[in-house]
């Protein structure tokens, strides 16, 4: 259902922020790009320019890395106690919370997502992440280890491990959850005492720039967080290849993830963590409560317009229930109010850009050409803005692109199965392994599927449940390492083993 009324304007102070000069945050100052270049940031709901930002490239990345190195090695940051670091991160969370409405508007205007969703999910999750990571600062412990050293009989030792910050970290984030991805990356880096150069997605730089202002207001020392706006092939590639960056943490496509690994390998073998694509299976078992599974499966694919790496894009339903479930999801899809994110009734906004709209529609065309059918949706919407109709595809075959590849849009392919015994194999038949879900009343079956599904997150009778304490990341080509939870802390530290002979 397409909303017709125009969206209201944002609050005056959000507009004031958008109207500002937007430089790069380097060593505590907002500066122009060395090249002097800027680029436009557009509202995907109408294609209009909402701001101009600096176009950072290699020269700016060099400056930012130098600032991060200086802050890591000297000055107040390495002198701070864990507790002081935690206090600063907590303060940042408070400031973010105080400005929740402004951030929700920025996310909506920049990314296209409904303001109400950003206010209920993206911003509170980011606040919570910072608070969770603030708590970790004082709990990053090593251990004491009894050692035997067979070639030194009679010698006595005291050995312990110590976890130290990995160093200067380059972080490259995508456009689907601009603020939240910045929080997932910055939180553990700051908690462990690293310093950061954050390269935000060129489509959605605004909330990270505002966060940069709050980082300064919170009182982080200069150079601890540096923020670069710019393009992937220039600024992003320069960061991944930089010889003075100790770790690169990337979220984005599997294709670019492979480039990051190559750049890391060819430069200084920096540590790499990756959170990449997905093609997540969502399984409705015959004993599922369909009154929960149907809206759950709709949410699994349509949340954030399907622009989620863990979107439930392959739906498996028993043949006996296939029509009922597909019709239910199709009905839910046609009820979704699609419109500008700033519209108070909007439940689904536009794709983030024309490129993304074209990419999603290209997949739809290829699927329909190869014989798939759209029960609902299947097209872009006419007029301004980069909208795509929520779509349910049936009659798909396992070799079709719409089944094999990540569409990153509001498109689910429903597949009928006969024998639940074949399900695990079909569900795991993907190069990806980010997330999976199963709907069942039999909790034992739920656990059995959870054990066998090759995915970093498995949801049973729910979907898209995220928490700062839960690790998130992928098996197979969905990535390396995990974000959030204790595992993120581990991945931002190096272990040092210290041995004293007594
Ligand atoms: P999408 O195709 O959905 O935009 P990408 O993986 O291309 O996803 O982008 C995710 C992030 O990676 C963005 O910040 C983008 O600028 C960055 N990026 C894109 N290409 C490169 C590259 N070659 N090297 C480093 N970063 C890149």
Q: Which atom of ligand 1 is nearest to the CA of 200?
A: 14
Query: Is residue 235 in contact with ligand 1, taking CB distance under 6 Å?
Result: no
The verdict on whether 309 is a catalytic residue reads yes
Nearest C-alpha neighbor of 171 from the set 159, 157, 188, 154? 188
Please give the distance, rounded to the nearest whole angstrom, from the Cα atom of residue 232 to the centre of ligand 1.
5
Domains and CATH numbers, the chain: 12-276+479-498 (3.40.605.10), 281-467 (3.40.309.10)
Q: Which long-range contacts (CB under 8 A, 24 or more apart) does 58-61 make?
A: 58/234, 58/235, 58/238, 59/33, 59/34, 59/35, 60/24, 60/26, 60/33, 60/34, 60/228, 60/230, 60/235, 61/197, 61/199, 61/228, 61/235, 61/238, 61/239, 61/242
DSSP 320-389: GGHHHHHHHHHHHHHHS-BS-TTSTT-SB---SSHHHHHHHHHHHHHHHHTT-EEEE--SBPSSSS--B-
Give me the half-sphere count of Cα atoms (radius 13 Å) on the Cβ side of residue 448. 11
* Spatial separation of the C-alpha atoms in residues 108 and 46, rounded to whole Å: 12
Helix pair angle (123-136, 178-192), 10° resolution: 10
Q: Is 170 close to ligand 1, i.e. is its CB under 6 Å away?
A: no
- Whole-structure pTM value: 0.98
Q: Of 55, 102, 203, 275, which is the active-site residue?
A: 275
pLDDT digits (tens), the chain, 502 positions:
677 667 889 999 999 999 999 999 999 999 999 999 999 999 999 999 999 999 999 999 999 999 999 999 999 999 999 999 999 999 999 999 999 999 999 999 999 999 999 999 999 999 999 999 999 999 999 999 999 999 999 999 999 999 999 999 999 999 999 999 999 999 999 999 999 999 999 999 999 999 999 999 999 999 999 999 999 999 999 999 999 999 999 999 999 999 999 999 999 999 999 999 999 999 999 999 999 999 999 999 999 999 999 999 999 999 999 999 999 999 999 999 999 999 999 999 999 999 999 999 999 999 999 999 999 999 998 778 999 999 999 999 999 999 999 999 999 999 999 999 999 999 999 999 999 999 999 999 999 999 999 999 999 999 999 999 999 999 999 999 999 999 999 999 999 999 999 9
Compute, in angstroms, the gap from residue 251 CA to the centroid of ligand 1: 8
């Amino acid at each position: 259902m397409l909303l017709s009324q125009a969206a209201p304007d944002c609050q005056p102070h959000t507009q004031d922020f958008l109207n500002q000069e937007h430089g790069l945050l380097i060593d505590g100052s907002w500066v122009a790009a060395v090249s002097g270049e800027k680029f436009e940031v557009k509202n995907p709901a109408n294609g209009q320019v909402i701001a101009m930002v600096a176009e950072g490239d290699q020269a700016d990345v060099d400056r930012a890395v130098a600032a991060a190195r200086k802050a890591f090695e000297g000055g107040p940051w390495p002198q701070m106690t864990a507790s002081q670091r935690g206090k600063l991160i907590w303060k940042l969370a408070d400031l973010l919370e105080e400005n929740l409405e402004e951030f929700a508007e920025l996310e909506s205007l920049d990314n296209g997502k409904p303001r109400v969703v950003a206010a209920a999910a993206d911003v509170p999750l980011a606040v919570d992440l910072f608070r969770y990571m603030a708590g970790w600062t004082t709990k990053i412990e090593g251990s004491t280890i009894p050692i035997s050293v067979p070639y030194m009989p009679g010698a006595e030792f005291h050995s312990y491990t110590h976890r130290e910050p990995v160093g200067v970290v380059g972080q490259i984030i995508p456009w689907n959850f601009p603020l939240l991805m910045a929080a997932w990356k910055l939180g553990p880096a700051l908690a462990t005492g690293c310093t950061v150069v954050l390269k935000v997605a060129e489509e959605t730089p605004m909330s990270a720039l505002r966060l940069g202002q709050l980082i300064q207001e919170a009182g982080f020392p200069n150079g601890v967080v540096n923020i670069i706006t710019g393009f992937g092939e220039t600024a992003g590639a320069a960061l991944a290849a930089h010889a003075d960056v100790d770790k690169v943490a990337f979220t984005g496509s599997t294709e670019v993830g492979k480039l990051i690994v190559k750049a890391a390998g060819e430069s200084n073998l920096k540590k790499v963590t990756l959170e990449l694509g997905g093609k997540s299976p969502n399984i409705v078992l015959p004993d599922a409560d369909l009154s929960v599974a149907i809206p759950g499966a709709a949410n699994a694919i349509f949340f954030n317009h399907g622009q989620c790496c863990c979107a439930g894009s392959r739906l498996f339903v028993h043949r006996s229930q296939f029509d009922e479930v597909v019709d239910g999801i199709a009905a839910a899809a046609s009820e979704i109010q699609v419109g500008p994110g700033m519209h108070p009734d909007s439940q689904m906004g536009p794709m983030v850009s024309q490129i993304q709209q074209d990419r999603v529609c290209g997949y739809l065309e290829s699927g329909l050409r190869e014989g798939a059918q759209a029960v609902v949706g299947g097209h872009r919407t006419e007029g301004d803005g980069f909208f795509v109709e929520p779509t349910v595809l049936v009659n798909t075959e396992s070799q079709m692109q719409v089944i094999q590849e990540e569409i990153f849009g509001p498109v689910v392919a429903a597949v009928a199965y006969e024998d639940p015994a074949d399900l695990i194999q079909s569900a795991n038949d993907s190069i990806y392994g980010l997330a999976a879900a199963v709907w069942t009343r039999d909790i034992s079956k739920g656990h059995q599927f959870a054990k066998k599904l090759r995915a970093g997150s498995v949801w049973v009778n729910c979907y898209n449940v995220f928490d700062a304490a839960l690790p998130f990341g992928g098996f197979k080509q969905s990535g390396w390492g995990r974000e959030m939870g204790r595992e993120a802390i581990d991945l931002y530290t190096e272990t040092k083993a210290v041995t004293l002979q007594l």
